[in-house]
Amino acid sequence: MNVSGKTKVCAVIGDPIEHSLSPAIQNAAFQHLGLDYAYVAFTVRKEDLKNAILGVRGLGLYGLNVTMPHKIAVIQYLDQLDETARNFGSVNTILNKNGRLVGYTTDGIGLLNALNYNGVDPYGKKIAILGAGGASRSVSFALAREAKELVILNRTLEKAENLVNDLAVVSGKKAKLEAKRLCDEEIEKELKNTDILINTSSVGMHPNETETPVSPDFLDARMVVFDLVYEPLETTLLREARKIGAKTIDGLTMLVHQGAASFEIWTDKKAPIEVMMKVATEKLKNKKAQA
């Protein structure tokens, strides 16, 4: 990588950020297309977010990815939001347009593209989403206009109900929307006719790899099971789903596709998905080998 005074610098901010695969993924994409861009990672604590965004303006950083815990708080420091970011109420991508900071969210399009990449069409399907946090919000908003039925299952029912109420405002009531408590009784009932199951919770994430949000007894071979967790790459949920013959999609696919959408906002170029997938997979395997 040849960095000069003309190089456009992009970055990811969050806390923690040391684990991020984004620098490797984005720099590989820039280099593959011969673009004069560079991508770095910065740890930014909650109390330092305002100063960090001022730094983006002052230093002229070209673009940002924003990860936890800043996706909502960063909005107050931006000049403009695109329609999707306004609907989602969160931002994970920022473009610096000559000093004017515009916020986007690529989580939703990343999810839809990840499904499409794996040959899955969510249109007219019943989709069950586990969890009602920030990741669930992005996923459910993207799917509310595609699905025939969308059910949000969460341990705290009120949180799921609040999300469903927000979804009803932007979905145009195209999908049947329901909130259910995340418990065995409701999971078993809902999954009997679910086409796509998406886990947006952290259950099963390293170091708790043996955990799963759904008992294998409730899974069905005809459904698609998508786990947004990517470390480990094959969670217990995905492994059990694969054993019974269900189609599975791992969280790395989502990470790469939402990153690809950010890449396209910054560069106005088609992202090299296969290059990004290859680098992400290799980095994750090397990380596991070194652990």
- Domain spanning 109-249, CATH class: alpha beta
pLDDT in tens, 183-209: 999 999 999 999 999 999 989 998 899
pLDDT value of position 163: 94
pLDDT value of position 289: 62
- Pairing state between β 63-66 and 8-14: parallel
What CA–CA distance (Å, rounded) separates 207 from 209? Answer: 6
pLDDT value of position 175: 86
Q: From residue 280, how far is each of 23, 251, 274 by CA, in Å? A: 10, 11, 10
Provide φ and ψ at 237, rounded to 5°. Answer: -60, -50
Q: Quickly name the fold that domain 8-105+253-290 has.
A: Rossmann fold (3.40.50)
Question: What average pLDDT is seen over the chain?
Answer: 94
pLDDT in tens, 44-90: 999 999 999 999 999 999 999 999 899 989 999 999 999 989 888 88
Written as one letter, the residue type at 284 is L
Mean pLDDT in residue range 12-30: 96
Topology alike, domains 8-105+253-290 and 109-249: yes
Whether 71 sits among the annotated catalytic residues: the reply is: yes
Tokens of 266: 């910054």
Written as one letter, the residue type at 144 is A
Tokens of 10: 């992009």
Nearest to 249 by CA among 271, 269, 234: 234
Catalytic residue among 50, 71, 174, 285: 71
What CA–CA distance (Å, rounded) separates 145 from 147? Answer: 6
pLDDT of residue 116 exceeding 60:
yes
- What percent of the chain clears pLDDT 90, i.e. is strictly above it? 83
Domain boundaries, the chain: 8-105+253-290, 109-249
pLDDT value of position 223: 97
pLDDT of residue 171 exceeding 90:
no
Q: What is the DSSP string of 25-69?
A: HHHHHHHHTT--EEEEEEE--GGGHHHHHHHHHHHT--EEEE-TT
| CB burial of residue 74 (10 Å; 0-12, 13-18, 19+) | buried
